[in-house]
Amino acid sequence: MSPTTKTEKRTSPRESWGSLRRLPSGRWQARYPGPDGEIHTARTDDDRALTFETKTDARTWLSGVHRKIALGTWESPQAMAARMRAEAEAEAARTIGFTEYAERWVEMIRTQPSRSGKMRSAGTIRSYKGKVHGYLIPEFGDTPVRAIDKNRIREMTDKLDKIPSPLNPKSKFNGVTRPVLTVLMMILRQAARDGYIVKEPDVPMPRQEPVRRGPDDDVGEEVANPEQVEALYGAMPDQWAIAVLLAAWCQLRRGECLGLQRRDIEWHPDGSATLHVRRQLNAHTGDFTDPKSDAGKRSLSVPRLMVDRLREHLRDHVAPEAKAPVLPSNPQGSVPLSNTRWWNVWSEAKDLVDSVHPKFRFHDLRHTGLTIFAQEGATLAELMRRGGHSDIRIVLRYQHATMTRDRELANRMSDRVDAALDFERSSRSQPVSDSGGHL
């Protein structure tokens, strides 16, 4: 055995600064007094135990630490590890790709409640996921989230606008751009909350144009009138025409109309009827699900103007079973009309009514009914209950309808005042006879 080996096996004398010792494994360990008054054992930059193969390596490392302390650049192993983790996380935030983050976002909305505290429905999750995988990931791929700016989003928007409508290729509006852009902005907003970007890009959402606007219409009065509702009812195939009245005069959503069953209509001895909204035919899943919110489950009085037509519809087109769909795919059938087939039926019927704007949607019939409901003096609470709304901000849109009523009442008041003043002026201008009957 060489002399050098014998020397290394003996206990090492104390260093001039710090200390070294040989471990049972044969490797060397270094310890030193830090500026914080603590004795530290050599550790890696990520705060793991560090040992050395030779005493020379340990001494060299110890010398380097001593130099950092002298220069004032020393950090405790814990502080250095925390700084490096923060830097690594910051670097990951700068470089995380859209696909990776979008997948995380999808998982988050699936497993965590929304800001209202409620879990999102399966249909909502499926809809968002479809837009992420069908449009956004193919567009952005591994592009860093931080690189998706206003210009990049505008490029994507231009591409989406050129996609033809899958159901109506002649339409200028494909119904894709706005929903996809909405999901993208939701993802980027969450990325800002998570610290991956400073702020979501300031991108204006495509404006939804009014469904109807005539030269004599006031701003906000984009509703069909009763004559147009009748025209739409007449243009629909008989077996599904009742849906127009259900949407306009009972203010049902499309899915609520398609989800109606015979048992949901309660008839009273005086001939009136109550309609109970208990479910919807979900356009995303194709199944029956609860309405959009708890407020969607409601009971509505069926207006007298459509009671007879509803009774005739049930007699002629709906099977007698309690669960028979009110809008079956076939007369007296047990399967409800699908959302896709309904869209085709509605589009063809709407195109037959020249007085209805081409952009008029079936959903806008609700606007018609709720506007007239507001004109009759319904309170906000009554409008919310009738329409199945849970957000008062949505219902406020119908308050514009009261301005029409306000204008009508103001004009009637003006006519009454003018008539009273005319009568007063007329009375004053009449000559007064004396007691003898002479002027």
398-417 confidence digits (pLDDT tens): 665 565 666 666 777 888 88
| Ranges of the chain whose pLDDT falls below 70 | 1-15, 90-94, 116, 165-174, 204-222, 393, 395-409, 429-439
Q: How far apart are CA 439 and CA 431, in angstroms?
A: 8
Spell out a b/e string for 142-176, using b for 16 or more CB atoms within 10 Å of the CB, else e.
eebbeebeeeebeebbeebeeeeeeebeeeeebeb
Q: 226-402 has which CATH code?
A: 1.10.443.10
Task: Note the pLDDT of residue 85.
Answer: 82
Model confidence pLDDT, tens digit, residues 71-119: 999 988 888 888 888 777 766 666 789 999 999 999 999 999 877 677 8
CATH class of the domain defined by 96-193: mainly alpha
Q: Where do the structural domains in the chain lie, given as residue ranges? A: 3-78, 96-193, 226-402
* Two structure tokens written together for 359: 């952009």
Task: Note the pLDDT of residue 268.
Answer: 93
User: Whole-prediction pTM value?
Assistant: 0.52
Task: Note the pLDDT of residue 9.
Answer: 43
Task: Note the pLDDT of residue 6.
Answer: 42
Task: Note the pLDDT of residue 407.
Answer: 66
Question: What strands, in cross-sheet order, belong to the sheet with 28-33?
Answer: 19-22, 28-33, 39-41
Per the CB < 8 A criterion, the answer to whether 92 and 122 are in contact is no
- Angle at which helices 364-375 and 380-387 pack, to 10 degrees? 150
Per the CB < 8 A criterion, the answer to whether 411 and 419 are in contact is no
Spatial CA neighbour of 61 closest among 81, 26, 31, 96: 31
Task: Note the pLDDT of residue 28.
Answer: 95
Spatial CA neighbour of 180 closest among 119, 152, 139: 139
Question: How many residues are given for the chain?
Answer: 439
